[in-house]
């Protein structure tokens, strides 16, 4: 028998369609040929490694003393019932790797909690922002420039 005529007897028959099993939609047929993700989570691990963090700066003795004076003034003002508008720059440690990020929050002093070692600001919308005292790097505000002998 010749190669061309091998399937000649069935080539013109109609395609079989099952009455019991519905045909698979084209979208699902395409999915069965998609690549296999053998390294699940590898892309996320690469992104996490590439994510940059900042190092927390070490304050000099003079900077630390100036910051302590400003915190003491802020505590005295808060106890006297004055709630000046201030801006705090602080460091947020990263939960997954060494380093972290700098953040700035502005608002009025709501409370200085010596027990929890937090300074709590209240922004204009009424949201409370807790800032750990050991993470504070700078405190600025008009009230400090009046009391600070180093400011002109």
Residue at 52 is within a domain:
no
What is the per-residue pLDDT for 40?
78
Residue at 36 is within a domain:
no
pLDDT in tens, the chain (152 residues): 456 678 888 888 898 888 899 888 887 877 777 776 677 788 888 888 888 888 888 889 999 999 888 888 888 888 888 888 889 999 999 888 888 899 999 998 888 888 899 989 998 898 999 999 999 999 888 877 665 544 44
Residue at 77 is within a domain:
yes
Residue at 27 is within a domain:
no
Count the domains in the chain.
1
* Domain housing 65: 61-147
Residue at 124 is within a domain:
yes
What is the per-residue pLDDT for 3?
62
Residue at 106 is within a domain:
yes
**Domain with 141 in it: what CATH number?**
2.30.30.520
Long-range contacts of 140-148 (CB under 8 A, 24+ apart): 140/86, 140/87, 140/88, 140/89, 141/84, 141/85, 141/86, 141/87, 142/84, 142/85, 143/73, 143/77, 143/82, 143/84, 143/86, 144/70, 144/73, 144/86, 147/73, 148/66, 148/69, 148/70
What is the per-residue pLDDT for 65?
92
């Amino acid at each position: 028998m010749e190669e061309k005529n091998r399937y000649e007897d069935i080539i013109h028959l109609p395609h079989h369609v099952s009455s019991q099993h519905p045909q698979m939609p084209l979208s699902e047929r395409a999915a069965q040929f998609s690549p296999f993700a053998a390294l699940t989570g590898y892309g996320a691990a690469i992104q996490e490694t590439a994510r940059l963090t900042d190092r927390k700066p070490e304050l000099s003795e003079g900077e630390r003393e100036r910051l302590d004076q400003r915190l003491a003034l802020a505590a005295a003002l808060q106890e006297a019932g004055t709630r000046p508008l201030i801006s705090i720059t602080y460091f947020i440690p990263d939960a997954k790797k060494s380093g972290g990020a700098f953040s700035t929050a502005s608002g009025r002093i709501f409370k200085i909690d010596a027990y929890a070692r937090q300074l709590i600001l209240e922004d204009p919308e009424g949201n409370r922002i807790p800032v750990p005292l050991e993470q504070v790097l700078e405190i600025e505000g008009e009230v400090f420039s009046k009391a600070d002998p180093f400011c002109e």
